[in-house]
């Protein structure tokens, strides 16, 4: 990691655009920002799933219905880790992601060995995080997350030329937060056709998988936000990213941004955007 200049080194709160911080995993340039227009609180739902998990299609139906109900207030990622249930069937695409595998183990999903499994906003619970089986429904957890007053407003945009993507993240602190916060960027892909075990234990060769985690663009647990957490603080960050795999269809991909507590991993807010290609 190269830390070229920090806000403290400049000696004031303003961050000049000629000074920036470079994080391992992605380059983030941090600047003074302007207020974020949309103050929506959103729920970040991460689902751990697998193509050999015959209950997972039911969870997909539940989450698809929730996405229709909540619209852009719900941000979803679907994660395939290295459990045997995630091993591709036949010559189907391999959707396993090393970054998601690390999350699965750190958040206690992999060790539990139960799929599908979900978390909403990585809510802390005891010595870990609140996990649940989404087959039984997700509305209770989503409603609880959306009922919270937003402490951070968040929006983003992404533009690409070929496989190179420029991402702009806009952050406004709506209330004062203690500790350190991070921003994490994810690349997800929709519309992947891969064979899936169904509830009746048959194989569905034409099954469509959505919200698939392809890559964590920043450091795995996020890049430090160059701010003191005080209400009213606004920041803009620019990240440059090149897709790591030519087989990913960027026309079907989206970027997700999370603002989280660095220590507890609790997600304060999230946002998603499509990737605009140069015409």
Residue 223 lies in a domain: yes
Closest CA to 113 of 138, 81, 91, 89: 81
Domain with 102 in it = 7-277
Q: What token pair was written down for 190?
A: 């929709």
Q: What token pair was written down for 41?
A: 């609180």
Tell me the C-alpha to C-alpha distance, in Å, between residue 121 and each of 30, 74, 153, 261.
25, 10, 15, 11
Tell me the C-alpha to C-alpha distance, in Å, between residue 176 and each of 191, 229, 236.
39, 5, 18
Residue 144 lies in a domain: yes
Q: What is the pLDDT of residues 54-81, one digit of tens each?
A: 999 999 999 999 999 999 999 999 999 9
pLDDT of the residue at 133 = 97
The whole-model pTM stands at 0.91
Residue 58 lies in a domain: yes
In terms of pLDDT, which residue wins out, 27 or 86?
86
pLDDT at 176 over 90: yes
Distance separating alpha carbons of residues 248 and 271, to the nearest angstrom:
21
In terms of pLDDT, which residue wins out, 22 or 84?
84
pLDDT at 155 over 60: yes
Closest CA to 20 of 224, 163, 176: 224
pLDDT of the residue at 27 = 53
pLDDT at 226 over 60: yes
Q: What percent of the chain has pLDDT over 90?
A: 82
Domain of 180: which CATH number? Answer: 2.60.40.10
pLDDT at 239 over 50: yes
What are the percentages of helix, strand and coil residues in the chain, rounded to 5?
20, 40, 45
- Determine if the peptide bond prior to 202 is cis (ω within 30°): no
State the DSSP string of 51-81.
TT-TTHHHHHHHHHHHHHHHGGGEEEEEEE-
Number of H helices, E strands in the chain: 5, 20
Residue 184 lies in a domain: yes
pLDDT at 214 over 90: yes
When pLDDT is cut at 50, 70 and 90, the band that residue 279 belongs to is: low
pLDDT at 128 over 50: yes
Residue 2 lies in a domain: no
Distance separating alpha carbons of residues 38 and 172, to the nearest angstrom:
10
When pLDDT is cut at 50, 70 and 90, the band that residue 26 belongs to is: low
Residue 264 lies in a domain: yes
Average pLDDT, the chain: 90
In terms of pLDDT, which residue wins out, 126 or 232?
232
Least confident window among 16-30, 93-107, 205-219: 16-30
Domains in the chain: how many in total?
1
Q: What is the dihedral of CA 81, 253, 121, 118, to 10 degrees?
A: -40
When pLDDT is cut at 50, 70 and 90, the band that residue 23 belongs to is: very low
Residue 263 lies in a domain: yes
pLDDT at 87 over 60: yes
Residue 233 lies in a domain: yes
């Amino acid at each position: 990691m190269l830390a070229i200049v920090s806000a403290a080194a400049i000696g004031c709160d303003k961050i000049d655009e000629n000074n920036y911080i470079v994080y391992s995993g992605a380059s983030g340039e941090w600047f003074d920002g302007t207020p974020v227009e949309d103050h929506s609180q959103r729920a970040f739902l991460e689902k751990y799933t697998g193509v050999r998990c015959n209950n997972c299609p039911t969870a997909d139906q539940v989450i698809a219905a929730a996405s229709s109900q909540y619209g852009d207030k719900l941000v979803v990622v679907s994660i395939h880790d290295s459990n045997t249930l995630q091993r591709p069937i036949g010559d189907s695409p391999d959707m396993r992601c090393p970054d998601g595998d690390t999350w699965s183990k750190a958040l206690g999903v992999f060790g539990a060995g139960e799929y599908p499994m979900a978390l909403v906003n990585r809510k802390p619970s005891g010595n870990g995080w609140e996990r649940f089986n989404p087959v039984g429904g997700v509305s209770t957890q989503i409603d609880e997350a959306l009922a919270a007053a937003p402490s951070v407003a968040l929006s983003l945009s992404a533009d690409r030329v070929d496989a190179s993507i420029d991402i702009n993240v806009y952050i406004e602190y709506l209330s004062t937060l203690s500790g350190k916060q991070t921003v994490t960027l994810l690349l997800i892909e929709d519309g992947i056709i891969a064979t899936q075990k169904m509830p009746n234990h048959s194989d569905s060769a034409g099954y469509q998988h959505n919200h698939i985690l392809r890559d964590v663009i920043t450091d795995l647990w996020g890049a430090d936000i160059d701010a003191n957490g005080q209400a009213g603080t606004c920041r803009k960050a620019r990240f440059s990213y090149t897709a790591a795999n030519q087989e990913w269809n960027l026309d079907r991909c989206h970027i997700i941004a999370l603002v989280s507590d660095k220590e507890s991993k609790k997600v304060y807010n999230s946002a998603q955007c499509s990737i605009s290609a140069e015409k």
